[in-house]
């Protein structure tokens, strides 16, 4: 079974079981099932290199038939380019100008024209493309034809200075720059510096190869600082006469502070003794060390922040100084730090809540009540925390979006949205998204809300939720929190002994219900599991080892995701915030973040060093509350979900063999 057919079955199953009633949209989905199968089979023949079969009338009438025509033209333009193929493609592009169906065909044809040097045809058609391959082809075409040469050097140099590995299409452009003598050592150094600023030391070393050795030496040192900051910084500290660019020292020290705050703190005094250190760099190094200590929850963090000039703190320093005070239980210092935040930042729910907590700790609960009350009306993590402090009911602010049958009918009949629906059910999500966005490019909020209903009726929940966000409509909780794959969720819930609301919440946060979700780290499916993590889970739970593509299958994804979450919860004595943080950042990271003494969960969560993981835990807790409401249950209180976090020694007996971590978060 092809992956496309596999995804199609999953998506159709989700749609046709999402609602008990049979809507006109669902009837249309069922009616087109036979033609859909013909279309998928024809597209699979193209991918497999199998000769085309005659197209039956049902396929020709199918809303996606033009996509099949485009795919055949795309194949022929690549496999057998020539005047006949070019003419057919040009005719198709003219007939479907600006429509999403031409997107892939147009790009591949333009690349083919450029490869064959058909510049007179290529240049007018590629004039507005931002694709880097086509941009370089366009420059190569202008060089070859001599068209408008005045700004050629500047545009070519701009591509050459890009801090990313260039595609092969840029090679002739860069060769032209070299022949003309435009690539000076000054420009080469700029290119290396840009690549270093983009944190790509290996590419920077490649770019530095053409620089004179003396000029390249400090840049090579900078690259080494990004690869191995600690030993290189130690060598710089040990030899004050060694030439080291200030920006290189700053970049390496920033990196070391994020990786090993204690090592950075120990190196800082000797680094500050260097006589050639620019005065402006000293507060930056002090700030990096203080931030590193805060990320490591080091008790010296508060003293380190005290040595940073207030003008050098910046947004990160301002906020992490408060977090460090909270971690150390110094609520008076935390309150002073919150008072020093810029007004717009201090007004955020996060800092309003922590102001109330600090006032309660320093001036008493009565003084904090009005401050909690400002936050407790919100439907979010900090609103729920504040409501718990006041013992108020949660304010969910549920306002279902109205159903406008007139707009819904118009949208359902719109050809672009019909194509989007069918592409979605054929597992061609990227193309479906392009059709959807093109069809609704000028839509206003009322239309977007009804489009969200339409997408939800198809089971395309990610697009539904995104449409509601674009419409700035946040209060229809049933539409924003659908519960698909209920049988699979219930089965996984029973197997792993995890509440179904927790699994729905993780699924929503991990993939936004997208069965084909694929991360840069190769995390897959609804629960975003890496294949190697799934192998470890299969071994621990005596399950059949899934293939990577099977992790796109909702029942498999939910079974393995629930099993992994159960392992993490067991590892951390059932504590939800620790288990969730470990699901996102890996259990090893969470073990590093454990306190030395029992700590309130809200303080622990606020001090998670990875910005992504901190938000991840907070959002999933919010989702759990919402999912309880959508099934008619009383929402759980955060005071019960988030127990006091225990020190590392409490979990020694619950530590199984470590599965692979799923994600690497960004500190901040």
pLDDT digits (tens, 9 = 90+) for 17-59: 444 444 555 666 677 899 999 999 999 999 999 999 999 999 9
Instruction: Say which residues have a Cβ less than 8 Å from residue 162's Cβ, sequence separation at least 6.
Output: 132, 194
Has residue 199 been placed in a domain?
Answer: no
Out of 23-37, 430-444, 654-668, least confident range = 654-668
- pLDDT tens, residue by residue, 341-369: 999 999 999 999 999 999 999 999 999 99
Range in 407-421, 472-486, 487-501, 637-651 the model is least confident about: 637-651
Q: Is the pLDDT of residue 217 over 70?
A: yes
pLDDT at 26: 60
**Residue 668 confidence class, pLDDT cut points 50, 70, 90:** confident
**Residue range 553-559: mean pLDDT, rounded:** 97
* Residue 432 within any structural domain of the chain: yes
Buried b vs exposed e over 452-480: b needs ≥16 C-beta within 10 Å?
bbbbbbbbbbbbbbbbbeebebeebbebb
Residue 662 above 50 pLDDT?
no
Considering the domain boundaries, does residue 170 fall inside one? Answer: no
| Banded pLDDT at 241 (limits 50, 70, 90) | confident
Look at residues 395, 428, 457 and tell me which one is the last residue of a structural domain. Answer: 395
Asked whether residue 579 carries a pLDDT value surpassing 90, the answer given is yes
Domain edge (last residue) among 336, 364, 395: 395
Together in a domain, 436 and 583: no
pLDDT value at residue 32: 80
Higher-pLDDT residue of 70 and 148 is: 70
pLDDT of residue 410: 97
- Whether 547 and 493 map to the same domain: the answer is yes
* pLDDT greater than 60 at residue 103: yes
* Cα angle: 490, vertex 495, 499; to 5 degrees: 55
- Average pLDDT, stretch 192-200? 94
Kindly state whether residues 442 and 356 are assigned to the same domain.
no
* pLDDT bracket for residue 12 (50, 70, 90): low
- Residue 1 confidence class, pLDDT cut points 50, 70, 90: very low
| The pLDDT of residue 447 is above 60 | yes
Provide the number of structural domains found in the chain. 3
491 lies in the same domain as 636: yes
Query: Does 529 map to a domain?
Result: yes
Cα angle 428, 429, 434 (rounded to 5 degrees) comes to 105
Ranking 238-252, 313-327, 477-491 by mean pLDDT, the lowest is 238-252
Nearest 5°: the CA angle 281, 283, 288 is: 95
Domain-located, residue 97: no
Question: In this predicted structure, what is the pLDDT of residue 242?
Answer: 81
On the question of pLDDT at 657 being above 50, the answer is: no
Among 548, 4, 2, 18, residue whose Cα is nearest residue 556: 548
Listed in sequence order, the residues at least 6 apart from 245 whose beta carbon sits closer than 8 Å to its beta carbon are: 218, 219, 221, 222
Residue 297 has pLDDT above 50, yes or no: yes
Same domain for 344 and 490:
no
Q: Computed from CA positions of residues 450, 455, 459, 464, in that sequence, does the dihedral angle turn out positive or negative?
A: negative
The alpha carbon torsion through 151, 154, 157, 163 (nearest 10 deg) reads -120
Model confidence band, residue 150 (pLDDT cutoffs 50, 70, 90):
confident
- Determine the average pLDDT of the residues in 590-615: 97
Co-location of 462 and 530 in the same domain:
no
Same domain flag for 493 and 382: no
Q: What is the pLDDT of residue 652?
A: 55
pTM exceeds cut of 0.85? yes
The per-residue pLDDT for 659 is 46
pLDDT band at 287 (very low <50, low <70, confident <90, very high): very high
What was the pLDDT predicted at 167?
96
On whether residue 295 sits in a domain, the answer given is no
- 8 Å CB contact between 449 and 401: yes
Q: pLDDT confidence of 663, banded at 50, 70, 90?
A: very low
Residues 514 and 554 in one domain: yes
What is the reported pLDDT for 164? 93
Judgement on whether residues 610 and 495 belong to the same structural domain of the protein: yes
pLDDT value at residue 655: 54
Instruction: Looking at the structure, tell me whether residues 535 and 582 fall in a common domain.
Output: yes
Task: Place 653 in a pLDDT band, splitting at 50, 70 and 90.
Answer: very low
**541 and 457 co-located in one domain:** no
State CA 400 to chain mean position distance.
29
* Domain-embedded: residue 62: no
Check residue 425 and give its pLDDT. 96
Which domain does 448 fall in, by range? 1-25+416-474
CATH number of 332's domain: 1.25.40.10
Question: In this structure, what CATH number is given to the domain that contains residue 630?
Answer: 1.10.530.10
Is the pLDDT reported for residue 16 higher than 60?
Answer: no
One domain for residues 383 and 352: yes
Q: How high is the pLDDT of residue 28?
A: 62
Asked if the model's pLDDT at residue 4 lies above 90, the reply is no
In a domain, 12, yes or no: yes
Residue 5 has pLDDT above 80, yes or no: no
Q: Provide the pLDDT for residue 99.
A: 96
pLDDT grade, residue 650 (50/70/90)? confident
Reported as a single tens digit per residue, the pLDDT across 604-634 is 999 999 999 999 999 999 999 999 999 999 9
Residue 356, pLDDT score? 98
Instruction: Report the candidate in 463, 413, 456, 409 with the shortest Cα–Cα distance to residue 436.
Output: 463
């Amino acid at each position: 079974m092809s992956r496309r057919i596999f995804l199609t079955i999953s998506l159709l199953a989700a749609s046709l079981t999402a609602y008990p009633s049979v809507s006109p949209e669902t009837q249309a989905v069922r009616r087109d099932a036979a033609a859909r199968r013909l279309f998928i089979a024809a597209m699979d023949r193209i991918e497999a290199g199998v000769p085309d079969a005659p197209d039956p009338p049902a396929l020709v009438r199918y809303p996606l038939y033009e996509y099949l025509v485009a795919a055949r033209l795309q194949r022929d333009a690549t496999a057998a380019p020539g005047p006949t193929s070019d003419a057919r493609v040009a005719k198709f592009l003219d007939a479907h100008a600006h429509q999403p169906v031409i997107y892939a065909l147009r790009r591949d044809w333009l690349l083919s024209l450029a490869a064959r040097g058909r510049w007179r045809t290529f240049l007018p058609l590629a004039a507005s493309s931002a694709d880097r391959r086509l941009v370089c082809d366009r420059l190569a075409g202008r060089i070859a034809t001599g068209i408008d040469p005045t700004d050629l050097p500047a545009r070519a140099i701009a591509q050459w200075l890009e801090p990313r590995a260039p595609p092969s299409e840029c090679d002739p452009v860069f060769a032209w720059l070299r022949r003309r003598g435009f690539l000076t050592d000054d420009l080469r150094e700029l290119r290396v510096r840009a690549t270093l600023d983009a944190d790509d030391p290996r590419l920077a070393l490649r770019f530095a190869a053409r620089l004179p050795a003396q000029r390249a030496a400090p840049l090579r040192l900078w690259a080494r600082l990004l690869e191995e900051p600690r030993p290189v910084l130690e060598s710089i500290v040990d030899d004050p006469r060694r030439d080291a660019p200030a920006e290189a020292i700053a970049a390496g020290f920033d990196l070391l502070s994020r990786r090993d705050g204690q090592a950075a703190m120990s190196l800082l005094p000797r680094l500050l003794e260097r006589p050639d250190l620019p005065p402006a760099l000293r507060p930056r190094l002090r700030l990096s060390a203080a931030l590193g200590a805060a990320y490591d929850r080091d008790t010296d963090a508060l003293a380190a922040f005290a040595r940073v000039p207030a003008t050098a703190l910046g947004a990160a320093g301002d906020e992490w100084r408060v977090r460090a005070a909270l971690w150390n239980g110094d609520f008076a210092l935390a309150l002073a730090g919150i008072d020093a935040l810029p007004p717009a930042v201090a007004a955020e729910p996060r800092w309003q809540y922590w102001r109330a907590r600090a006032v309660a700790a320093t001036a008493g609960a009565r003084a904090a009540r009005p401050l909690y009350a400002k936050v407790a009306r919100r439907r979010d993590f900090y609103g729920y925390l504040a409501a718990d402090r006041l013992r108020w009911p949660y304010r969910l602010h549920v306002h279902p979006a109205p159903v406008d049958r007139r707009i819904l009918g118009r949208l359902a009949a719109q050809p672009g949205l019909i194509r989007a629906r069918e592409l979605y059910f054929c597992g061609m999500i990227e193309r479906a998204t392009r059709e959807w966005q093109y069809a609704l490019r000028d839509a206003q909020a009322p239309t977007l809300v009804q489009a969200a209903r339409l997408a939800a009726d198809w089971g395309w929940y990610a697009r539904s939720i995104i449409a509601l966000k674009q419409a700035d409509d946040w209060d229809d909780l049933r539409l924003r929190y659908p519960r698909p794959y209920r049988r699979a969720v219930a089965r996984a819930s029973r197997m792993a002994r995890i509440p179904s609301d927790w699994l729905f919440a993780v699924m929503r946060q991990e993939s936004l219900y997208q069965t084909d979700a694929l991360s840069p780290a190769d995390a897959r499916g609804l629960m975003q599991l890496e294949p190697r993590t799934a192998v470890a889970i299969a071994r621990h739970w005596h399950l059949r080892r899934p293939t990577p593509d099977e992790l796109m299958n909702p029942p498999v994804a939910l079974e393995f995701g629930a099993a992994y979450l159960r392992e993490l919860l067991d590892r951390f004595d059932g504590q939800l915030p620790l288990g969730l943080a470990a699901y996102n950042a890996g259990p090893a990271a969470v073990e590093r973040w454990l306190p030395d003494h029992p700590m309130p969960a809200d303080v622990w969560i606020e001090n998670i060093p990875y910005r992504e993981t901190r938000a991840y835990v907070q959002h999933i807790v919010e989702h759990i509350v919402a999912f309880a409401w959508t099934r008619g249950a009383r929402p759980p209180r955060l005071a019960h979900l988030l127990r006091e976090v225990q020190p590392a020694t409490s979990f020694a007996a619950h530590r199984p063999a470590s599965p692979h971590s799923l994600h690497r978060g960004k500190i901040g």
